[in-house]
Amino acid sequence: MATTGNTAVQRKILVLGATSGIAEATCRIWATQGASLFLVARNADKLAAVSADLRARGAAFVDTAVADLDDTDSHPALLAHAVNSLGGLDVAYLAHGILGDQTRAEQEFNTAAHILHTNFMAPVSLVTWLANYFVQRRAGVIAVLSSVAGDRGRKSNYVYGSSKAGLSAFLDGLRNRIDREGVTVLTIKPGPTKTAMTSAMKGSEKFADVNAVAKAIVTAIDKRVDTLYVPFQWQPIMFVIRHIPERVFKKLNL
């Protein structure tokens, strides 16, 4: 733990979607370690509560921007402003996303398109800018929240799942390109986690503890891991799910 603390002291971290449950829990750990944080979220009141908390917990510096990340045109200016405010950048953490309404998305393309835009197009826009920034400096970590739902489409949430599948594939390719340039690309695949986003879901009381998930993410970033399944049991579970033959899989209720 002591080494993690030391590396984080000078660390400058940009968090996109900072009011999401997993992002907030992760930021609390970084704040305790004394990191500098730039937080982006849609809702000003929520962002104010989160940033006040992180300041109190020991973050060396906290700045914020209210932005709708669906607006990809605004990304370059937003990211440049964040880097300026922090005086550099070591880690970019993308945690924004929506679960969406699967049933509605099955009926209306616009609902599906919105999920794909928020969960896939917007991160691609952000990561493209960030990758170029980090490659220039030959250093940096891009950590992105994808999902185990992206490992195989299932009838219960395949629109959300396909947005995350696209994102995971994009990150794999990006890693293949820029890892050799000194930039780490971390794909984070959390299983169902107890947060505001999932609190309405059936069985959510059995979901993973958000603080344990956050702790694993911080460690994975420190160790520059490529792909993180969290909790770790999801790695073998998804291995099995990916290898079920399609003629069987298509009949399952997952």
Rule CB under 8 A: say whether 244 interacts with other proteins: no
DSSP state of 193: B
Rule CB under 8 A: say whether 248 interacts with other proteins: no
Bridge partners (DSSP) of residue 1 are none
Q: How far apart are CA 177 and CA 26, in angstroms?
A: 27
Q: How far apart are CA 94 and CA 88, in angstroms?
A: 17
3-state secondary structure of 62: strand
Rule CB under 8 A: say whether 70 interacts with other proteins: no
Question: What mask of x and - would describe binding to other proteins in positions 129 to 158, judged by CB under 8 A?
Answer: ------------------------------
Exposed, middle or buried by CB within 10 Å (0-12, 13-18, 19+), for 101? Answer: middle
User: Restricting to residues 202-241, which ones interact with other proteins according to CB under 8 A?
Assistant: 202-203, 205
Q: Is 160 a catalytic residue?
A: yes
Which residue among 84, 132, 199, 233 contacts other proteins (CB under 8 A)?
199
Binding piece for other proteins, criterion CB under 8 A, among 43-51, 126-134, 154-162, 221-229: 43-51
Set 93, 133, 158, 160: catalytic member: 160
3-state secondary structure of 90: coil
Work out how close the CB of 36 gets to other proteins at its nearest, in angstroms, rounded to a whole number: 19
The percent helix, strand, coil of the chain (3-state, each to 5) is 55, 15, 30
By the criterion CB under 8 A, which residues form the site for other proteins?
21, 42-43, 45-46, 49-50, 52-53, 56-57, 196, 199-203, 205
